[in-house]
């Protein structure tokens, strides 16, 4: 969206974010400093991956009352490092029917694309590094969020190629199934972010963060946040949506034939992808490196400056990591057809309707919604139209939920007709045992007596 168009549609947020500076200022960032920042981000993600694997095993172990890693290092902190060393030292076996080049290329694509997507995420505001003032992100473009979605689409090739190049039936089925799942949920994920673009007036990540200095978009775009939470779990193949790796159906999915470091690269890619989608959610809905509202008001936003942003960003990131772990330790795997039906028949149509409604309210803010004005809370100014949108959607959601529950109850009643408490076991001509909770009628406890001259008696004599 150009700055002139944004100024017409979104005068308040664009003036706040600065239409003349749609991207972060990298004028004082030499090339060598960009390389240093890239190395810092790389180490940040690797260390976070080591910690989150340990964190996941410990938390799920506590939730399910079984011990997690507690031998290597204090509290088992070095267990993940030991597992990585074991993976590097294991024998590398490749199936005879595999395509050697593509078989090796697939895990490389999966592991590298997630790092590329992290390049446009602002981890903090402007910081001082080696005598230069630079934004703590690698780069920014006017369509930075689209770059993340494009990189995620390329990452799917790693899954498809892994299943195809293995030369085995189950990996091929797993690759096709997981690619269909990831593509379908990327559609809903992309649509959920359109509402954020409408509120921010830009697709630049630094501009989106700056537009949330008064109100995080998780409030006016709460439905988009809900859709994104569902889609990011489906996108990362995590429980309860890890259908690409269903052990009972696919024996492991697209990476069944992988071992040693090739499998470890898929493993690394999955966890880095978790951090990538969580970082995008933090940036789009939770203000990125901005401090939480009570803290951000102290000393005119002192805690929003410098390296403080990295602390807030990391805290929000790990909040999403806990959600990933919590879901894995609590919910069973859903059925594949149910998951795909939920994505295509509910998430995508509902998100399309939500985007239209948000666009309607944002356009009306310049005309028939002007009379609604702004609302001031604790010294902060919030657009009145945004609060009106939240109220309208909340009412519609309650009505829609009530209608959905009523429809589900009718379908459940039709699918499971009421079973009588008492049954006649010989009513159908042959004995039928009672179901749990049923009892037999007293006269029918014995088989009917055979009377002389009856057809049954003649058959018995014969």
pLDDT the model gives residue 374: 52
Which pTM value belongs to this model?
0.73
pLDDT for the residue 14: 36
The rounded percent of the chain whose pLDDT value lies above 90 is: 4
pLDDT of residue 117: 83
β-strand 132-135 against 374-377: which pairing, if any?
Answer: unpaired
Residues 312-322 pLDDT 10s: 899 999 999 99
Q: Which of these ranges, 121-130, 162-171, 341-350, 387-396, has the smallest mean pLDDT?
A: 387-396
Could you tell me which residue, 325 or 434, shows the higher pLDDT? 325
Confidence of residue 39 (pLDDT cuts 50, 70, 90): very high
Tell me which of 3-12, 77-86, 295-304, 325-334 is least confident. Answer: 3-12
Mean pLDDT of the chain, nearest integer: 76
Do residues 16 and 208 touch, judged by C-beta distance below 8 A?
A: no
pLDDT greater than 80 at residue 290 = yes
pLDDT at 385: 57
Reported confidence tier of residue 357, pLDDT bands at 50, 70, 90:
confident
More confident residue, 389 or 109: 109
CA distance 170 to 311: 43
> How many CA atoms lie within 13 Å of 248's alpha carbon, on the beta-carbon side?
5
Separation of alpha carbons 28 and 291, rounded Å:
25
**Two tokens at 26?**
């990298």
Residue 454 has pLDDT above 50, yes or no: no
Distance CA 289, CA 283 (A): 8
* Most confident residue range from 20-29, 57-66, 393-402, 426-435: 57-66
Q: Which two tokens stand for residue 326?
A: 């919590």
Residue 188 CA, distance from chain mean position: 11
Cα–Cα distances in angstroms (integers) from residue 281 to residues 92, 193, 225, 332, in the given order: 37, 9, 8, 24
Q: What ranges in 18-143 are assigned the alpha helix state H?
A: 31-63, 79-89, 100-117
Q: Residue 225 pLDDT more than 80?
A: yes
Q: Are the C-beta atoms of 456 and 462 separated by less than 8 Å?
A: no
Q: Is it the case that residue 447 has pLDDT exceeding 70?
A: no
Least confident of 223-237, 312-326, 361-375: 361-375
Q: Where does the pLDDT of residue 23 fall: very low under 50, low under 70, confident under 90, or very high at 90 and above?
A: low
Residue 349 in contact with residue 84, Cβ under 8 Å? no
Asked if residue 367 has pLDDT above 60, the reply is no
pLDDT-based confidence at residue 384 (cuts at 50, 70, 90): low
The pLDDT score that the predictor gives to residue 282 is: 92
Question: Is the pLDDT assigned to residue 98 strictly greater than 50?
Answer: yes
**193 with 227: CB under 8 angstroms?**
no
Q: Is the pLDDT of residue 245 over 80?
A: no
Angle at 249 between CA 329 and CA 112, to 5 degrees: 65
More reliable by pLDDT, 344 or 365? 344
Q: How far apart are the first and last CA of the chain?
A: 91
CA 219 to chain centroid: 18
- Tell which residue, 367, 356, 365, 396, has the closest CA to residue 383: 365
- Mean of pLDDT values over 401-427: 70
Average pLDDT for residues 420-436, to the nearest whole number? 70
Question: Can you give the pLDDT at residue 365?
Answer: 59
pLDDT of res. 2: 39
Strand partners, 103: none
Q: Which of 219, 210, 225 is nearest to 287 (CA)?
A: 210
Provide mean pLDDT across the span 75-93: 80
Q: What gap in Å lies between CA 309 and CA 315, rounded to an integer? A: 10
DSSP per residue, 131-163? TEEEESSS---TTHHHHHHHHHHHHHHHHHHHH
Dump pLDDT digits (tens) for 334-347.
877 788 888 888 88
Q: Average pLDDT of 394-422?
A: 70
Q: What is the mean pLDDT of residues 206-211?
A: 88
Q: Name which of 18-22, 37-41, 96-100 the model is least confident about.
A: 18-22
Q: Is the bond preceding 183 in cis, omega lying within 30 degrees of 0?
A: no
């Amino acid at each position: 969206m150009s700055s002139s168009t944004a100024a017409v549609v979104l005068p308040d947020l664009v003036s706040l974010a600065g239409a003349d500076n749609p991207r972060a200022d990298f004028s004082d960032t030499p090339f060598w400093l960009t390389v240093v920042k890239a190395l810092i981000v790389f180490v940040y993600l690797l260390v976070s991956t080591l910690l989150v694997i340990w964190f996941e095993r410990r938390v799920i172990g506590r939730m399910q009352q079984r011990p997690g890693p507690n031998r290597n290092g204090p509290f088992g902190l070095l267990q993940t490092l030991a597992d990585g060393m074991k993976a590097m030292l294991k024998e590398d076996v490749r199936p005879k029917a595999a395509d050697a080049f593509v078989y090796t290329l697939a895990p490389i694509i999966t592991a590298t694309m997630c790092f590329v997507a992290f390049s446009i995420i602002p981890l903090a505001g402007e910081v001082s590094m080696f005598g230069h003032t630079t934004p703590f992100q690698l780069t920014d473009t006017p369509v930075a969020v689209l770059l993340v979605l494009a990189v995620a689409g390329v990452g799917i090739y790693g899954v498809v190629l892994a299943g195809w190049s293995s030369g085995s039936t189950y990996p091929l089925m797993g690759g096709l199934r997981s690619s269909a799942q990831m593509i379908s949920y990327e559609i809903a994920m992309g649509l959920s972010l359109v509402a954020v673009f409408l509120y921010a007036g830009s697709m630049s990540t630094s501009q989106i963060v700056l537009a949330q200095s008064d109100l995080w978009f998780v409030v006016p775009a709460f439905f988009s946040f809900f859709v994104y939470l569902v889609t990011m779990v489906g996108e990362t193949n995590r429980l309860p949506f890890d259908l690409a790796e269903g052990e009972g159906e696919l024996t492991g999915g697209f990476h069944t034939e992988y071992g040693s470091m090739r499998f470890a690269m898929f493993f690394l890619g999955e966890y880095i992808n978790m951090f990538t989608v969580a970082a995008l959610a933090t940036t789009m809905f939770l203000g990125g490196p901005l401090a939480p509202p009570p803290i951000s008001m102290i000393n005119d936003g002192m805690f929003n400056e410098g390296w403080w942003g990295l602390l807030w960003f990391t805290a929000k990131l790990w909040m999403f990591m806990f959600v990933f772990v919590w879901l894995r330790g609590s919910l069973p795997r859903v059925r594949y057809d149910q998951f795909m039906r939920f994505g295509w028949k509910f998430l995508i149509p509902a998100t399309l309707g939500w985007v239209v409604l948000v666009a309607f309210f944002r356009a009306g803010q310049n005309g028939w919604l002007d009379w609604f004005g702004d609302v001031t809370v604790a010294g902060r100014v919030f657009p009145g139209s945004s609060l009106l949108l939240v109220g309208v959607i909340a009412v519609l959601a309650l009505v829609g939920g009530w209608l959905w529950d009523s429809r589900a109850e009718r379908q459940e009643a039709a699918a499971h007709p009421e079973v009588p408490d008492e049954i006649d076991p010989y009513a159908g001509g042959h004995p039928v045992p009672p179901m749990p909770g049923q009892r037999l009628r007293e006269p029918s406890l014995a088989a009917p007596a055979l009377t002389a001259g009856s057809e049954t008696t003649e058959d018995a004599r014969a």
